[in-house]
Amino acid sequence: MSVINICEYFWNMLTSYVNLAVDELWVIATCAVCGAACAIPGVFLMLRRSALLGDAISHAILPGITVAFMISGERSPIFMLLGAALAGLLTALLSSLLSRSTILKKDAALGIVFTTMFAIGVLLITWAARNVDLDPGCVLYGLAELTPFDTTELFSMLLPRSFVWLSIILLINIALVSIFFKELKLSSFDPVLASALGFNTTLIHYVLITSVTITAVASFEAVGSILVISMLITPAATAYLLTDRLGVLIFIAAALGIVAAFGGYAGALTLNTSVAGMMSVVSGVIFAISLVVAPRHGLAQRVITRAMLRYRILRDDILGMLYRWHEVVGRDLSNPLTHREIYQALGRSILTRLALRSLIRRGEVVRAFNAPLHLTERGMLEAQALVRSHRLWESYLAKHLGLALDHLHIPSERTEHFIGLALTRELEKELATKLDPHGKVIP
């Protein structure tokens, strides 16, 4: 696909958004607010390593919602939130009680409680649907396409009910994080320190659970019970790959929830499928891309970092080999160390070739006749520093750990690349010796 075709594709997508009907814009707005509202508490669930708790709550509140429907006989938001909040808190309390009073671990106890609650909810919701205006498919899978047709009056305007409630929940979540940012941050990263400083970590935990619960309830008609966990966790996990600052992480997570809404709607129009399902797919695709290309924690960056470290170590190893060769034969080029010996010792890999070429290009290694290699004055200084670190570390291990002579080389070879000038000077003061344990001169 050419650059022109790519530009045409994005231009057509942009113009399609401009030409959308009002109802379609309300669908996008509702899904966008839903994504942002779910992402904010999802950040703290992820930081607390409680992603399964979000999944559990989004499923376990079904009995609470169903009972609320059965009591009220209508889809009353107040009854929905109240029933769901009680069910969510009950899930957390039962799982905590089960893990404390039995040998079960927290994840196993949580799995037992939420699957049981979810099963009860499915049975109740199926039975209640015969007598109450309650659609199991709407609760389980979401029905974002129909949100513009269920309106409520606000400030003399008819607005989608889901959009209004999700906007209120979003504002509540923003206010909650803004007011209790310090408490949430400290209890998420170091709950022991938070307790020692006098913070009620249990109360903070249940406030967060309540926030997740009411957000999940308000999101049901937009993305459904089964898919709400994607909006709770995936944007937060994606943002975590992109930044290490909590404030920025929350902002990015909310923004990614909004992006997933736009991308999900565009994908749903293209493939003629569920908007809620496509939102989850787009969110997962964004996570997969971030997992590869994230600047610090991405897989590509890890591969590059390891390759660069290996490249630097190979350069050091070549310098060390040449220095030890010079110690034996001096500058007698009739018995040279050539490329072949280097490759035999370090492997004939691309990185080894690049490392050797880099040393030659930097003027630390030169070739003479018949392609021998030897160190320049600059290369000799670099090699001396490396061998000094190696032999000082061997001396330190022999003196303080009492290792045998044949056990000194390998750990010292691994450590020599990371010993800086300050540590080298400390070792020299500590050891006060000019010979290593093998009797070789420490340069």
Residue 168 and residue 19 share a domain: yes
The list of the chain residues with pLDDT below 50 reads 1
pTM: 0.75
At 175 the pLDDT is 93
Q: Does some domain include residue 218? A: yes
Res 18: pLDDT: 52
Q: What is the pLDDT of residues 162-204, one digit of tens each?
A: 888 888 889 999 999 999 898 888 888 888 888 888 888 888 8
Asked whether residue 239 is assigned to any structural domain, the reply reads no
Residues 387 and 364 in one domain: no
Q: State phi, psi for 46 to the nearest 5 degrees.
A: -65, -45
Reduce the DSSP state of residue 435 to 3 states and report it: strand
- pLDDT for position 128: 60
Say if residue 215 is in the same domain as residue 350.
no
Choose among 45, 387, 394: nearest CA to 232: 45
* Domain count within the chain: 3
pLDDT for 58-68, tens place per residue?
A: 777 777 777 77
Domain with 404 in it: 376-443
What SS3 state is found at 332? Answer: coil
**Can you read off the two tokens belonging to residue 303?**
């591969």
- C-alpha–C-alpha distance, residues 129 and 223, integer Å: 19
On the CB side of 427, how many CA atoms lie within 13 Å of its CA?
23
pLDDT of 139 reads: 58
Residues 28 and 170 in one domain: yes
* H/E segment holding residue 367: strand 365-367
